[in-house]
């Protein structure tokens, strides 16, 4: 259970969750894309590796490492554009070269397709991650420089000399797409930034406010009130030892867990909120309504139905904060730890209950996440360091007012992460598309039978903008 909880905790401190066990939006995209495409026994893509500098900004650092990327060229014709799907906070996949909006754009414009893997994730490991000091090379700035180096390598081929470059990213990688166009405009001609939370923010209380709105708007009558009654009941039970004893019996909490410890209690409340968070972020209006129906029928709605969602230790649910840290951070070798490091040093993104406009009580404070940072990485990873990192990121990239052109920012209005994204046009050539009743990164997929017309129209508009910005008229197939 402790592994399940930490996975969910980090899932939601990243703009990313769909399935338990996956770290973020990028892994979610991989899972979804894999379910809709079969690469087959004779792949049309190649797996490549390229040498990257460990530190692109320190002339005295000479170490290098190998970054993985994928390429597919069977649609490409001379002067056709180059499309790069940017890797995010988990292992990369070639599935993005077989379906989705980038695939369709490449097919319609005789384009070449590439997909990169983010440093420190998947198989693209720059350094041994057993010490905190070696994480200092993990940042968006370094990842952007990695992708710029890859694009320069691609463009160095004589047959690509006239090809325009379009970068595509979803969730955190959506940030990277917009920021590639910002920092490397001479290299990147256009970008799709899907569900991109470009504003770094420590207390992201708006996340649960949006979850509240989704359940109020699309749930059944009195659904939000019922949710609040259940969470208030938990809060009341935590006030007495007798109540805690009863709660531990009801929830099969490990007997040795001291639930009077604030961090353990906060883990419990975060765990209970995740079902609602995932439905808002990756579900749809029907899923939310159905969930509400279950809420009204039984209090057991707060437990997931699928047994595989529960990872148990000794047949009990472990809500011990220290166990969570020790078991997931002591070796510092997995993607969960890498993404946590980025939230602690660059973005915050801490979904708190500090707002009164949500039904989950006030038991997930920002301080819970700060303690996670200091416990996992050391005492210097405190409020000051988190605040300074967030300030630096927003200053470097412009927050909600980036100085960019030829970038389309796409968000679904169900998605809580849209509250940190760009929802209004910055200019004629930096447009925002908000899709009614759509969730996180839905625009990146190809049309499906059950997709509503607004979603299909949004994808059409995105493709229109990209083709216009790269002057694709001369090589559009259809």
Per-residue pLDDT tens digits for 56-106: 999 999 999 999 999 999 999 999 999 999 999 989 999 999 999 999 999
Paired strand residues for 65: 52
CA angle 28–33–34, rounded 5-degree value? 100
Provide the mean pLDDT of the chain: 89
Q: Can you give the pLDDT at residue 38? A: 72
Residue extents of the structural domains in the chain: 2-23+201-392, 47-199+403-475
Which residues are CB-contacts of 132 (< 8 A; sequence separation ≥ 6)? 332, 377, 378
Query: Residue 190: helix, strand or coil by DSSP?
Result: strand
Query: Helix, strand, coil shares of the chain as percentages rounded to 5?
Result: 50, 15, 40
The token pair that represents 98 in the structure block:
């077989």
Neighbouring CB atoms inside 10 A of 159's CB total 11
Q: Can you give the pLDDT at residue 119? A: 97
Query: Which of the four pLDDT bands, split at 50, 70 and 90, describes residue 304?
Result: very low
Query: Which of the four pLDDT bands, split at 50, 70 and 90, describes residue 128?
Result: confident
Q: Can you give the pLDDT at residue 15? A: 42
Residue 145's nearest CA partner among 54, 82, 68 is 54
Query: Residue 358: helix, strand or coil by DSSP?
Result: coil
- Please check the confidence at residue 308 and state whether its pLDDT lies above 50: no
- Please check the confidence at residue 14 and state whether its pLDDT lies above 80: no
Query: Which of the four pLDDT bands, split at 50, 70 and 90, describes residue 280?
Result: very high
- Please check the confidence at residue 17 and state whether its pLDDT lies above 80: no
The token pair that represents 433 in the structure block:
């598309």
Query: Which of the four pLDDT bands, split at 50, 70 and 90, describes residue 305?
Result: very low
Q: Decide if 354 contacts 36 (C-beta within 8 A).
A: no
Q: Decide if 177 contacts 86 (C-beta within 8 A).
A: yes
Q: What percent of the chain has pLDDT over 70?
A: 86
Distance in angstroms (rounded) separating the CA atoms of residues 369 and 9? 9
- Please check the confidence at residue 462 and state whether its pLDDT lies above 80: yes
Q: Can you give the pLDDT at residue 298? A: 44
Dihedral-angle region of residue 365 (phi above 0 means left; psi in -120 to 50 means alpha; beta otherwise) = beta
Q: What percent of the chain has pLDDT over 90?
A: 78
Q: Decide if 108 contacts 477 (C-beta within 8 A).
A: yes
Q: Can you give the pLDDT at residue 475? A: 56
Q: Decide if 313 contacts 2 (C-beta within 8 A).
A: yes
Task: Name the CATH superfamily, with its identifier, for domain 47-199+403-475.
Answer: Alpha/Beta hydrolase fold, catalytic domain (3.40.50.1820)
Neighbouring CB atoms inside 10 A of 104's CB total 15
Query: Residue 252: helix, strand or coil by DSSP?
Result: coil
Query: Which of the four pLDDT bands, split at 50, 70 and 90, describes residue 336?
Result: confident
- Distance in angstroms between the alpha carbons of the first and the last residue of the chain: 52
Backbone angles phi, psi at 221, to 5 degrees: -60, 135
Residue 160's nearest CA partner among 192, 197, 190, 187 is 187
Strands 64-72 and 112-116 come out as antiparallel
Q: Is the dihedral of CA 250, 256, 257, 258 positive or negative?
A: positive
Distances (CA, A) of 168 to 25, 88, 187, 434: 14, 11, 14, 17
DSSP characters over 388-423:
HHHHHHHHHH-TTS---SSEEEEEETT-GGGGGS--
- Mean pLDDT (whole number) for 246-269: 95
* HSE toward the beta carbon, residue 399, CA cutoff 13 A: 10
Q: How many residues does the chain have?
A: 478
């Amino acid at each position: 259970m402790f592994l399940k909880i930490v996975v969910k905790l980090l899932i939601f401190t990243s703009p990313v969750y769909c399935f338990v066990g996956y770290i973020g939006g990028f892994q979610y995209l991989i899972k979804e894309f894999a379910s809709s495409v079969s690469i087959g026994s004779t792949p049309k893509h190649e797996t490549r590796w390229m040498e990257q500098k460990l530190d692109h900004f320190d002339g005295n650092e000479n170490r290098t490492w190998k970054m993985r990327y994928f390429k597919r060229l069977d649609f490409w014709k001379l002067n056709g554009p180059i499309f790069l799907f940017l890797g995010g906070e988990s292992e990369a996949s070639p599935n993005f070269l077989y379906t989705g909006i980038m695939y369709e754009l490449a097919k319609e414009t005789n384009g070449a397709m590439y997909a990169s893997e983010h440093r420190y994730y998947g198989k693209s490991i720059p350094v041994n991650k057993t010490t905190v000091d070696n994480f200092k090379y993990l940042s968006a700035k370094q990842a952007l420089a990695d992708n710029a180096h890859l694009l320069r390598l691609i463009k160095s081929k004589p047959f690509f000399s006239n090809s325009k470059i379009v970068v595509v990213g979803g969730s955190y990688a959506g940030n990277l797409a917009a920021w590639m166009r910002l920092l490397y405009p001479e290299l990147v001609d256009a970008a799709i930034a899907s569900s991109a939370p470009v504003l770094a923010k420590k207390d992201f209380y708006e996340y649960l406010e949006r979850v509240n709105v989704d359940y109020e708007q699309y749930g059944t009558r009195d659904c939000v009130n019922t949710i609040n009654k259940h969470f208030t009941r938990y809060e009341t039970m935590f006030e007495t030892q007798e109540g805690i004893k009863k709660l531990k019996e009801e929830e099969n909490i490990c007997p040795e867990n001291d639930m009077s410890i604030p961090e353990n209690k906060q883990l419990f409340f975060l765990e209970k909120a995740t079902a609602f968070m995932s439905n808002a972020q990756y579900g749809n209006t029907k899923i939310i309504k159905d969930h509400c129906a279950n809420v009204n029928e039984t209090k057991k709605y707060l437990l997931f139905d699928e047994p595989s969602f529960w990872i148990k230790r000794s047949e009990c649910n472990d809500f011990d904060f220290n166990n969570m840290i020790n078991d997931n951070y002591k070796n510092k070798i997995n993607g969960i730890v890498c993404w946590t490091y980025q939230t602690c040093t660059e973005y915050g993104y801490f979904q708190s209950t500090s707002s009164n406009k949500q039904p989950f009580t006030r038991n997930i404070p920002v301080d819970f996440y700060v303690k996670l940072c200091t416990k996992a990485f050391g005492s210097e990873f405190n409020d000051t360091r988190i605040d300074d990192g967030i300030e630096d990121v927003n200053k470097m990239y412009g927050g909600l007012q980036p100085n960019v052109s030829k970038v389309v920012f796409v968000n679904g209005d169900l998605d809580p992460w849209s509250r940190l994204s760009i929802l209004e046009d910055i200019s004629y050539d930096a447009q925002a598309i908000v899709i009614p009743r759509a969730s996180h990164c839905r625009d990146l997929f190809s049309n499906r039978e059950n997709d509503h017309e607004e979603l299909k129209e949004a994808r059409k508009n995105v493709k229109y903008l990209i083709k216009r910005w790269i002057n694709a008229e001369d090589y559009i197939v259809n």
